[in-house]
Amino acid sequence: MLIADRLMVTGQAQAGDAFATPTIVHFGAVLLLSAIVSAPWHGVTSAAVLWGLLGLTGIVYEIIVARRMRTQSVYMAQFEDWLFHVLLPFAAYATLAGSAYEARSRAQGAIFGIGAAGAAV
């Protein structure tokens, strides 16, 4: 039996938006971050603006994910779900945004922030 032949449970799409979609978005964010950092920039400023925007966008997206997790009714989210789907990614995106600000004065330290954020997302 194919999955396409199965009947959808009411609210199942909302649960997918809350739990499955963020995983794909975070994977895409890490790929984009890797492309930004790997590009041959003349200075750190342009790259820092881009990875800072990625961090701020990720923060906004995590707020959307938290709202989706609260409104879906198929699965009651546990602490681990909140930790790994909202709190840790939020912290990673905040670290990414903060490291972009830090890049102005200490580029080497900002690189460690990028590494930590990329590993945590």
Q: Tell me if 3 is assigned to some domain.
A: no
Place of tokens 């820092």: 48
Integer Cα distance of 110 and 59 in angstroms = 18
Domain count, the chain: 1
Domain that holds residue 110: 12-120
The residue ranges of the chain whose pLDDT is under 50 are none
Q: Tell me if 56 is assigned to some domain.
A: yes
Q: Tell me if 87 is assigned to some domain.
A: yes
Q: What's this model's pTM, rounded to 2 decimal places?
A: 0.85
Q: Tell me if 7 is assigned to some domain.
A: no
Tally of CA atoms within 13 A in the half-sphere of 101 that contains its CB: 7
Q: Tell me if 19 is assigned to some domain.
A: yes
> What is the per-residue pLDDT across 15-44, written as a single tens digit (0 to 9) for each?
777 788 889 999 999 999 999 999 999 989
Q: Tell me if 1 is assigned to some domain.
A: no
